[in-house]
Amino acid sequence: MGAMPCMDNVNKLIYHFAIPFVLIAYCLFVIYDYNFYDGNGRVASIEKHTSNIKNTNIDALILGGSNSYLSLSAETLSLKSDHSWYNLSLFSEGYTDENYMHFLKEEFGGAKSKDIRIIIYSTIYPNREERFILERQTGKMNIAGRRKSIKPNYSFISHIRNSIDKGMLYPLPNKYGDFDFNNFDCILKGKSDFRPVHVDISSVWLQKNLISIQSIFPDAHIIVVSPSEFFDNPDNLIDTTLHAERLFHSLTALNKKNNVNINFSMIGEASYNKKNLLCDDYHHANSKGRNYRTQNLYTQIIAANQESIRYE
């Protein structure tokens, strides 16, 4: 019987002190998370791009998301071609179209934008579910993926893990804007997400983005790249190139219909089934895979130039 009052006291302690304390601690954590959010190194990477661009003469750009940040090399393209390339790809292409275009305008305001002659725009979104394109147009995240919410951007457990395991943080880009694989452990955790949205939807989205890119870089020729990715099943390897071809025809028809003039061409990269070329996801190459993909793309660009324009 003596245990009951004791239990009552413990319960009171929990209700009157422990639970309010946990709730207050959570509120403070959400405020901390919002104000000190760095997106596992995304914020620092964006700042490094800004400082790199200020001190470099660039006439060719790689744009896109993580697929091109990890899997294409501006350094290799600069060595192979006469252009000075810079990789200005951001994770998830800055999360929304508005963020990314605003970022490009900020970085290349005024005369500097007219120096750009050629752009590789490697975007994975036409090869993903429709909801991702919708989120790009309506999402409320900032350029590093920070959202305003009563939930934290990263869970408390993730914060603890990141403070212990520094390998989780994304390294700063090098002077060409390329991903620095020397400071990152590639542990494959991804899976195949190739679920292409219907070309009639992706072409409308792509046209809007290409118009924005062309307005920022009026003298540039844009090479839209449908990026290669890994497939478990070799029978599926053909899918990406076929889809890119369909997308190109849909976009060309749309441009004609809307009387839009964009200086662009399109390349559909053939996918591969070599797992040793992957980093942490099926569309993220590792250092070896980046050489492989960049070399292949460069060969395709040269071939496309000879043929005037791919798919026509």
Stretch near other proteins under the rule CB under 8 A, chosen from 9-17, 116-124, 209-217, 271-279 = 9-17
Q: Which is nearer to other proteins, 137 or 149 (CB)?
A: 149
For the chain, what's the residue count? Answer: 312
Does residue 161 bind other proteins (CB under 8 A)?
A: yes
Does residue 31 bind other proteins (CB under 8 A)?
A: no
Residue tagged 């997308």 (tokens): 247
Minimal distance, residue 20 CB to other proteins, in Å: 11
Does residue 56 bind other proteins (CB under 8 A)?
A: no
Stretch near other proteins under the rule CB under 8 A, chosen from 7-15, 42-50, 67-75, 285-293 = 7-15
Q: In what order do the strands lie in the sheet with 85-87?
A: 85-87, 60-64, 118-122, 221-226, 264-268
**Which of 2, 3, 111, 131 forms a contact with other proteins (CB under 8 A)?**
131
Does residue 209 bind other proteins (CB under 8 A)?
A: no
**Which of 81, 192, 212, 291 forms a contact with other proteins (CB under 8 A)?**
192
Does residue 154 bind other proteins (CB under 8 A)?
A: yes
Q: Which is nearer to other proteins, 48 or 147 (CB)?
A: 147
**Which of 110, 189, 235, 308 forms a contact with other proteins (CB under 8 A)?**
189
Identify whether the C-beta of residue 256 lies closer than 8 Å to the C-beta of residue 209: no
Structure-block tokens of residue 284: 């993220």
Structure-block tokens of residue 297: 């793309």
Helix (H, G, I), strand (E, B) or coil at 13: helix
Identify whether the C-beta of residue 213 lies closer than 8 Å to the C-beta of residue 63: yes
**Which of 45, 71, 76, 153 forms a contact with other proteins (CB under 8 A)?**
153
Distance of alpha carbon 117 from alpha carbon 220, whole angstroms: 4
Q: Which is nearer to other proteins, 283 or 310 (CB)?
A: 283
Stretch near other proteins under the rule CB under 8 A, chosen from 99-107, 188-196, 244-252, 258-266 = 188-196
Q: Which is nearer to other proteins, 21 or 263 (CB)?
A: 21
Taking phi over 0 as left and psi of -120 to 50 as alpha, with beta for the rest, 206 belongs to alpha
Sequential DSSP letters for 134-175: HHHHH----TT----SSS-SS-HHHHHHHHH-GGGSPPPP-T
Does residue 196 bind other proteins (CB under 8 A)?
A: no
Does residue 238 bind other proteins (CB under 8 A)?
A: no
Sequence-distant contacts of 241-246: CB under 8 A, at least 24 apart: 241/268, 241/269, 241/270, 241/271, 242/268, 243/126, 243/127, 243/196, 243/199, 243/268, 244/268, 244/269, 245/311, 246/199
Distance of alpha carbon 171 from alpha carbon 213, whole angstroms: 27
**Which of 11, 50, 56, 305 forms a contact with other proteins (CB under 8 A)?**
11
Site residues for other proteins per CB under 8 A: 10-11, 14-15, 18-19, 22-23, 26, 29, 131, 145, 147, 149, 151-158, 161, 188-189, 191-193
